[in-house]
Amino acid sequence: MHPNETLIHRFYKAFGQKDYQTMHDSYHADASFSDPVFQNLSAVEAKAMWKMLVSSAKDLEITYEGVRADDDQGQCHWEARYTFSGTGRKVHNVIAAHFRFRNGKILEHKDHFNFWRWSRMALGAPGLLLGWSPYLLQAVRKKVRGRLEKFMKNEIA
């Protein structure tokens, strides 16, 4: 198994165990993260995001498969099942992850998922009716960005 495949396995096993320190240690100091909701995060912000998400998760279940990696890039398919704290609704998110590596660490991590599908599960009727719209996506991005900034401020304080 390629060492970067091992790195991806370690990252998702840690995620499933809510071990944010191992997740943090998987990232390069110059890393970036992006998905449809959390856009263009620096390494510091990405690490805080993972800590925020696993710290608040009550019933998080992570599964992953299809891990492939070489010296430069990698990918896997992962799924998250959890109760969305904002509404108490059950979510089953299906994600395709793509990675770039540097010096045995994750340099770039991009997750792709269907926001409309996610919003229908997480938000109910508003997600069903508006989940396809840039308006709802921007509103969710703004809300989670504020939540992340507040979390980071409280972590430093």
- Domain annotation covers residue 80: yes
- Max mean pLDDT range (78-87, 94-103, 133-142): 94-103
pLDDT score of 71:
96
* Number of domains the chain contains: 1
Answer whether residue 45 is part of any domain: yes
pLDDT value of residue 104? 95
Residue 37 lies in a domain: yes
- Look at 2 and 57; give whichever has higher pLDDT: 2
What is the pTM (predicted TM-score) of this model? 0.91
The domain containing residue 72 runs over which residues?
3-114
15 within domain boundaries: yes
CATH number at residue 54: 3.10.450.50
- Within a domain: residue 20? yes
Indicate whether 99 belongs to any domain. yes
In a domain, 134, yes or no: no
Predicted local distance difference test score (pLDDT) of residue 125: 81
**Long-range contacts formed by 10-15: CB under 8 A, 24+ apart:** 11/106, 12/62, 12/64, 12/76, 12/78, 15/50, 15/54, 15/62
| Other C-beta atoms lying within 10 Å of the C-beta of residue 55 | 11
Residue 96 lies in a domain: yes
Which residues does 85 contact at the CB level (< 8 Å), separation at least 6?
Answer: 56, 58
Q: What is the pLDDT of residues 27-76, one digit of tens each?
A: 999 999 999 999 999 999 999 999 999 988 789 999 999 999 999 999 99
